[in-house]
Structure 1
Amino acid sequence: MDVLFVSADSSIQAYQALAETYAAIEPPTWSLLLAESCRGKGFEAAILDCTAERLSITDAVERIREANPRLVVFVVYGQNPNSGTTNMIGNSKLADTLREQYPEYRTCFVGSHVSALPLQVLADHDGIDLVLYNEGVYALHNLLASSLADEDILKTHGVGHKLHGRPTLNPPEQVVPQARMDIDLPGYAWDLLPYDKRPLDLYRSHFWHAGFDHGNRTPFAALYTSLGCRFKCDFCMINIVNRTSDAEDTVSAHSPMMRYWSPELMLREFEKLNQLGVETIRLSDEMFFLDKRHYEPLLNGIIDRGYQNRMWSYSRVDTVRPQHLDLFRRAGVEWFCLGIEAANQVIRKEVSKGTFKEINIREVCHTVRESGINIISNFIFGFPDDDLNSLCQTRDLAMELNTEMTNVYACQALPGSPLYYTAQKNGWTIPKQYEGFAFLAYDCLPLPTKHLSAAEVLQFRDDAWHKIFSNPDYLKLVESKFGPKQRNNVEDLFQIRLKRKLLGDAPPPMKTTPAERMPTNTAPKPMTA
């Protein structure tokens, strides 16, 4: 085998007790893309998804040994913008353990955290030989076409290594250009994923995506129809995987771009999922509701084919086009995740570099809901200019909007974002461990603001979350739209109180292996092509 794409498990550290039942388990989207790309070039590839298969570190090491690949590629992305960093928890531990037990395997890391801090990743981990410091498609092709000898690695662009005793970056490599998206990233290797009784049944959607009904969460798939974002928000690191520079101060705002697959290719992917019996689908694009030249033919094609999908997609609150909401709803988009971020317009403009338009948030939300589409509203507490008054404004807006789902996060200086380097420059405390960047982790360490400590921000966030979800008006909404059982499920959810080291809590009890937390009746098996 030429290459094994590995995704290790970091869920219990990132989500605490929420990992058992409530956190989604998403297919490893970039593993699927890279595997299909490599197969298209004639290389033999496989995927090892430790979260889906409930594998311990010990079991995962043995599975890698059994596969015996020429190159072990750890693909470190995830569900949220911070996941490329937080998923380093399990992946770095697995790589270090593999090095201790089977040092002969060459290991390579790719992902957003690796793109942000490639030299630091190499310096911090003996078990990591190579990094790809953007999306890595062409660097990976070139590595696999070689013998992987030291002299081959030294001349492969887009690769970081430590062959001369210190971490070093080779000259940069390009990302896949728009004109070659369908050629060099020709779809998803769904057939390489494990399953129990039917394809993709080891994966589960977000709790709310299934209308708060656990029985409708699987099978589940997530896919991109485009890559990247045109905007340069201070708090976001999404575009860091587009980097084409080896400068150490490179941030996501240096490479704002979007690239699209053709509607024809994407409709073939939807047909594959339809044939596999998958209807619950996440559109993972950062800006799906942005360019109608892309989404109109794709959504119309889905409608014409009669797929009965249950989908959700992202949108900025200022890019919603009311005239197209009916098209989205008829295509099966049942949820929009709207990035509202903050109630205070001045703060919102500051962190988005002035790109947020003046809009009536209440009117946009009303229009979306009138179209029959549910809303997940996203808010962030603790931007640099936030004070207690502005935090209260954001919390109160979330409660007033009373959307079908609300996400609230404490602001993090995520590696790769402009805010990360602002924090470094100003001497703000930044987490030293991967766990510190996980929004819901015990070790979560958000940024302080100019007016509030990190502990005050985190306490406010956790209190606001419970206030929003225990709000009688919200519970009444859930019951009226989804049913009494679903209301009970939400009430069970808000009984869970996260433990926080920063707030003086004792560590939560940890079950040691994924299998203990999420048992499965049958040993997973790879899907047949």
Structure 2
Amino acid sequence: MKVLLISLPDPPGIHVFRFHAAGFGSSFVMPNPEHKYEVYPPIYEAYVASILENEGHEVRILDCQSPNIEVEEILKEIEKKNPSLIISRICLPSYYHDLKIMAKIKELFPDIVLIGWGGICKVFPENVLRESQLDIVFRAVELEDILPEFIRAYEKDKIENVLGISLKKNGEISHTANRPFNKNLDAIPVPAYHLLNMKKYVTQESHYIFGGSKEKFIPFFSVSGSRGCSFNCIYCPYPVTYGPWRGRSPEKVVDEIEVLVRKYNIRTIWFHDQTFSMIPKRTIQLCDEIIERRLDIHWATETRIDTLKPKVLKKMKESGCGRLEVGVETGDPILLKTVGKRGLTIEKIVKTAKAIKKERIILETNFLVGLPGETWDSIKTSAELIKKINPDILTAMIVTPYPGSPLYTMAEKNGWLLTKDWSKYTLFEPVFSMPNFTADDMREAHHYLYLQYAINKQKKELLDALFNLNFLALSKILFSNVPKFLRKLPRIIRNKFR
């Protein structure tokens, strides 16, 4: 059977990170379309393509994000390949654009079966089917588990036996029973790299190498070493989409990395894990495997900060870890305990942040604005914590109540939701408002955290320039940054006295 896996193009002027937020996606407005942006490879599609090829199917992956491919080109490719099935991830920020493209495909190729998958398809399958020209949606995101079984059933006209699908037939929508999460991740083969242009996935060197250049872009690729998260924070979409934590064996993970290094000369790896260091012993084993095979890679990942013990950090650094992305969420200990990171304390955060920086690993911290119970006092406490731990990269996001999460249920029950226009669910635009902390407060607080971070960074740069008598750096700070600071001074004063 001919199968086409499409990673759909971005909406005009928007860049969508399709893998972010457990596949619900995040996005930002592109200020300069000519600028080079980091595009992550469609790793789930590459995994399942490998299985399908081994089962004798003719598979094609069309990655329309790198660079952005116009709809007309997609239609030409479909006409040329004439697939029986087309499978595409549907994301929130690009929701209406994704469905519009799929509708155009159905209009011109009515006999092709169109399948959608992703977080929104899992949570609201009926809505997606009614609002689209899709024939089927998968209520499971692990393509390597559900798609091969679906195709085998489709060929026998028995798709009603496949768990985790919802289908539309003659205007009627039906659902099969829910599908359990894939427990045998070691059965996942090496991805079908040959179906992708491996040279076009590039990232900034400074994101993976301590002291690396922001101007230099280097080849990279994603590897999925584990899936899921077992902590169940109320705002987090990871448990919704990926379920509890499950890991692949270190040997299998490093086998995949070795192919990237030896065959494609790719030595920069993004571990597409939600809680990379969930099991410290396994983390050390994985790092040892990388070291023993002398792969000489640079890698980065996301994990929970209180799983990072000094012994684990040292081993991670030795194996090539260049950046760690950790969720701190808030500097307020009450919020941290009640709705943020249960079991995590400010003391643990500060101690582990120091340990990460001591190993010369780039520290990227995620903070959230707008958690239930948020106030301007808690925002200022977050700003103080940011100043104290001094991350190399700060990512501040506005809390987004993702469908299926406890926060979404809470927001809907309390009448906090402002919109169900999914294109606004970007992580950087408020979609709900609370009586004691409104959407306007969220916007202002989001800006405030970045502004305070920038001011603290500039102070440090100024002191370093003075201490080292670096007059070139000093003149740049004074003549470039001071005018910007003065323009923002009224806003700084206003927030200072809230």
Q: Same fold (TM over 0.5)?
A: yes
Pairwise CA distance, 1:88:
3.1
Which string of whole-angstrom CA distances, capped at 9 and with x for unpartnered residues, describes residues 78-105 of structure 1? xxxxxx4224354323212212222222
Name the counterpart of 2:121: 114
Structure 1 residue 464 corresponds to structure 2 residue 463: no
Taking structure 2 as the reference length, the TM-score comes to 0.84
Structure 1 residue 142 corresponds to structure 2 residue 149: yes
Taking structure 1 as the reference length, the TM-score comes to 0.79
Q: Match for 1:233: what amino acid? A: C
Decide which of 389, 403, 428 is 1:415's aligned counterpart. Answer: 403
Name the counterpart of 1:100: 107
Structure 1 residue 174 corresponds to structure 2 residue 180: yes
Pairwise CA distance, 1:208:
3.4
Pairwise CA distance, 1:281:
1.5
SS of residue in 2 equivalent to 1:297: helix
Name the counterpart of 2:234: 234
Structure 1 residue 271 corresponds to structure 2 residue 258: yes
Name the counterpart of 2:495: none
Which string of whole-angstrom CA distances, capped at 9 and with x for unpartnered residues, describes residues 32-59 of structure 1? 1222232343333221100013201221
Relative to structure 1, the CA distance from residue 423 to residue 167 in structure 2 (aligned partners, 3 Å threshold; closer, same or farther) is farther
Residue correspondence of structure 1 range 159-308 to structure 2 within 5 A: 159-177=165-183, 180-183=184-187, 185-194=188-197, 199-204=198-203, 208-209=207-208, 213-242=213-242, 255=243, 257-275=244-262, 276-308=264-296
Cα distance in 1, alignment partners of residues 54 and 347 from structure 2: 45
Relative to structure 1, the CA distance from residue 36 to residue 432 in structure 2 (aligned partners, 3 Å threshold; closer, same or farther) is same
Structure 1 residue 30 corresponds to structure 2 residue 33: no
SS of residue in 1 equivalent to 2:368: strand
8 Å contact kept, 2:140–2:146: no
Relative to structure 1, the CA distance from residue 306 to residue 390 in structure 2 (aligned partners, 3 Å threshold; closer, same or farther) is same
Pairwise CA distance, 1:22:
6.3
Deviates more, 1:332-341 or 1:217-226: 217-226
8 Å contact kept, 1:38–1:141: yes
8 Å contact kept, 2:75–2:105: yes
Decide which of 85, 98, 119 is 1:71's aligned counterpart. Answer: 85
Pairwise CA distance, 1:381:
0.7
Pairwise CA distance, 1:9:
2.1
8 Å contact kept, 2:353–2:389: yes
Cα distance in 1, alignment partners of residues 149 and 235 from structure 2: 33
Name the counterpart of 1:128: 134
Decide which of 280, 301, 323 is 2:311's aligned counterpart. Answer: 323
Which string of whole-angstrom CA distances, capped at 9 and with x for unpartnered residues, describes residues 142-190 of structure 1? 22114468x533333211011142332112233322xx3222x223222
Decide which of 428, 448, 451 is 2:416's aligned counterpart. Answer: 428
Which string of whole-angstrom CA distances, capped at 9 and with x for unpartnered residues, describes residues 428-447 of structure 1? 1243222210124xxx3333
In our comparison, the structure showing a higher alpha carbon Rg is 2
8 Å contact kept, 1:25–1:205: no
Name the counterpart of 2:24: none
Name the counterpart of 2:440: 455
Pairwise CA distance, 1:393:
1.2
Relative to structure 1, the CA distance from residue 30 to residue 390 in structure 2 (aligned partners, 3 Å threshold; closer, same or farther) is same
Cα distance in 2, alignment partners of residues 60 and 476 from structure 1: 51
Q: Match for 2:186: what amino acid? A: D
Cα distance in 2, alignment partners of residues 435 and 277 from structure 1: 37
8 Å contact kept, 2:357–2:363: yes
Cα distance in 1, alignment partners of residues 101 and 192 from structure 2: 23
8 Å contact kept, 2:254–2:290: yes
Pairwise CA distance, 1:455:
2.0
Which string of whole-angstrom CA distances, capped at 9 and with x for unpartnered residues, describes residues 69-127 of structure 1? 11100034xxxxxxx422435432321221222222211011122112211111111x2
Relative to structure 1, the CA distance from residue 289 to residue 363 in structure 2 (aligned partners, 3 Å threshold; closer, same or farther) is same
Relative to structure 1, the CA distance from residue 60 to residue 365 in structure 2 (aligned partners, 3 Å threshold; closer, same or farther) is same
Structure 1 residue 16 corresponds to structure 2 residue 32: no
Q: Match for 2:195: what amino acid? A: L
Pairwise CA distance, 1:234:
0.5
SS of residue in 2 equivalent to 1:396: helix
Name the counterpart of 2:76: 62
Which string of whole-angstrom CA distances, capped at 9 and with x for unpartnered residues, describes residues 191-216 of structure 1? 2112xxxx333443586346563443
SS of residue in 2 equivalent to 1:172: coil
Name the counterpart of 2:492: none
Residue correspondence of structure 1 range 369-384 to structure 2 within 5 A: 369-384=357-372
Relative to structure 1, the CA distance from residue 358 to residue 389 in structure 2 (aligned partners, 3 Å threshold; closer, same or farther) is closer
8 Å contact kept, 1:382–1:457: yes
Cα distance in 1, alignment partners of residues 422 and 444 from structure 2: 20
Deviates more, 1:136-145 or 1:291-300: 136-145
SS of residue in 2 equivalent to 1:415: coil
Which string of whole-angstrom CA distances, capped at 9 and with x for unpartnered residues, describes residues 475-506 of structure 1? 569999xx98xx99xx99xx9xxxxxxxxxxx
Cα distance in 1, alignment partners of residues 419 and 206 from structure 2: 29
Pairwise CA distance, 1:450:
4.0
Decide which of 323, 341, 344 is 1:356's aligned counterpart. Answer: 344
Q: Match for 2:213: what amino acid? A: D
Pairwise CA distance, 1:231:
1.1
SS of residue in 1 equivalent to 2:199: coil
Name the counterpart of 2:23: none
Residue correspondence of structure 1 range 450-529 to structure 2 within 5 A: 450-469=435-454, 471-473=457-459
Relative to structure 1, the CA distance from residue 461 to residue 308 in structure 2 (aligned partners, 3 Å threshold; closer, same or farther) is same
Q: Match for 1:200: what amino acid? A: K
Q: Match for 2:30: what amino acid? A: A
Relative to structure 1, the CA distance from residue 163 to residue 324 in structure 2 (aligned partners, 3 Å threshold; closer, same or farther) is same
Return 5+ residue gaps in structure 1 as ranges. Answer: 77-83, 243-254, 496-529
Pairwise CA distance, 1:296:
1.6
Cα distance in 2, alignment partners of residues 190 and 333 from structure 1: 23
SS of residue in 2 equivalent to 1:360: helix
Q: Match for 2:126: what amino acid? A: L
- Identity among equivalent pairs (%): 21
Return 5+ residue gaps in structure 2 as ranges. Answer: 15-26, 485-498
Name the counterpart of 1:53: 67
Cα distance in 2, alignment partners of residues 360 and 260 from structure 1: 25
The total of aligned residue pairs comes to: 455
Relative to structure 1, the CA distance from residue 278 to residue 155 in structure 2 (aligned partners, 3 Å threshold; closer, same or farther) is same
8 Å contact kept, 1:3–1:46: yes
**Aligned alpha-carbon RMSD (Å):** 2.8
Pairwise CA distance, 1:458:
1.5
Cα distance in 2, alignment partners of residues 304 and 450 from structure 1: 56
Deviates more, 1:351-360 or 1:314-323: 351-360
